[in-house]
Amino acid sequence: MGKPKFSRKKYETPSHPWQEDRIKGENEFIKKYGLKNKREVWKAETRLRKYRGQARELLAKISTGDAQSKKESDQLLMYLSTMNILPPKSTLDDVLALNTETILSRRLQTLTYLKGLANTPYQSRQLISHGHIAIGDRRVTVPGYLVTKDEEGEIGYTIDSPLNDTMHPARPKADFKSIPLKRPEKPPEDVEETKEVKPKEDMSKVTNMEVPKKEDMPPDKKPGEKQPVEEKKPINEIKQEQPTQSPVEKPQKEALTESNKAQIKEPETPSKKLKEEPPKEESSTKTEGKPIEESKKEEKANKEKNKDKGGK
């Protein structure tokens, strides 16, 4: 029996700790079902191993015609059908075809998520452990609880839970389903090329034409009358029709240009003004009408007089 304080192990560890394929498979289960650790995967594997081992023993005993083995096989199949692991009227061969996901899908954590009571498997685990989920009138706080077929329809929030309020922010909006909008389908490129171009309708054939108002009409034109269309002439005829200048008009223009030129006077340039100015007066030192040699002699005489005055 052992000590009641320490219960027996409910799972078996793998035979080898480092197996790459097994480790990858266990990590996928943890992400998919929101499990806490690999211990919960090992619990599901040991339970499945127990069912399959029991089915193999019963198959060997039934072949001998043992009545007890038939009774035990019926009990096993009934139990698996009540747990909704197998459908009713199944055989022992169906038990051998089970896998680990069939056991993990019957946990309370996965069913609360599939019912729409939580947004993610991790949130469903939190709600169960915090006491927000109940099966009927009974509160269940074990995420790994295996739900029976009858209890599956009774899963919901507890009476005291604030998540019963539809406006609670943590409550998932499972009741409101978004309807996808249908986008208009674009025609393929080949169809666009094969489109026929419609000919333009003649405006003369249109009978329901709007008649312009009297205010917008010109004075000569009357409402209802068609304006005559002017025929376009070629460019050569237009050049020939242009009136040529008469010989009398040319001398009149030339006379006008000469009269305008006479009125316009040329501005006096500064160079002309400088030429017209009178020459500057010569310096006082230069004597008018005397030759240059006499002026030099007088200067020398004046210098000598000054020297004699200074000596005295």
* Residue 309 clears pLDDT 90, i.e. is over it: no
- Determine the pLDDT at residue 177: 41
- Mean pLDDT along residues 102-115: 95
Per-residue pLDDT, averaged over 10-20, amounts to 92
- Mean pLDDT over residues 201-223, rounded? 51
pLDDT confidence of 137, banded at 50, 70, 90?
Answer: very high
**pLDDT score at 26:** 96
245 lies in a domain?
Answer: no
Q: What pLDDT does 213 receive?
A: 54
Check pLDDT > 70 for residue 47.
yes
Q: Are 112 and 155 in contact (CB under 8 A)?
A: yes
Mean pLDDT computed over 292-300: 76
User: Do residue 95 and residue 117 come from a single domain?
Assistant: no
In this structure, is residue 223 part of a structural domain?
Answer: no
Give the count of beta carbons closer than 10 Å to the beta carbon of residue 47: 16
Cα(239)–Cα(235) distance, integer angstroms: 6
DSSP 222-287: -TTPPPPPPPPPPHHHHHHHSPPPPTTHHHHHHHHHHHHHHHSPPPPPHHHHHHHSPPPPPPTTSP
Specify the pLDDT at position 225: 53
Q: Are residues 96 and 118 in the same domain?
A: no
**Is residue 213 domain-resident?**
no
266: pLDDT strictly greater than 90: no
Taking the C-alpha atoms of residue 43 and residue 12, their distance in angstroms, rounded to an integer, is 7
Residue 119 lies in a domain: yes
Q: Residue 297: its pLDDT value, please?
A: 78
Shared-domain flag, residues 71 and 113: no
Comparison of pLDDT for 306 and 171, the residue scoring more: 171
Q: Which domain holds residue 158?
A: 108-164
Contacts of 28 by beta carbon, 8 Å cutoff, 6+ apart:
none
CATH of the domain at 119: 3.10.290.10
Q: Given 104, 124, 145, which residue is the final one in a domain?
A: 104
Residue finishing a domain among 164, 193, 211: 164
In a domain, 275, yes or no: no
Q: What is the pLDDT of residues 231-245, one digit of tens each?
A: 555 555 555 555 555
- What is the band of 273 on the pLDDT scale with cuts at 50, 70, 90? very low
Query: Can you read off the two tokens belonging to residue 194?
Result: 């094969």
The pLDDT value recorded for residue 3 is 76
Per-residue pLDDT reduced to its tens digit, 140-190: 999 999 999 999 999 999 999 999 998 898 888 755 343 343 444 555 554
Number of domains in the chain: 2
Q: Is residue 98, in this structure, part of any structural domain at all? A: yes
Rounded to an integer, the average pLDDT of 243-264 is 51
**Among 104, 122, 152, which residue terminates a domain?**
104
- Tell me, yes or no, whether 304 lies in a domain: no
Residues 140 and 65 in one domain: no
Average pLDDT score over residue span 117-137: 95
Could you tell me if 133 and 159 lie in one domain? yes
In a domain, 195, yes or no: no
Distances (CA, A) of 305 to 284, 293, 301, 311: 21, 19, 6, 10
Within this chain, do residues 52 and 120 fall inside the same structural domain, yes or no? Answer: no
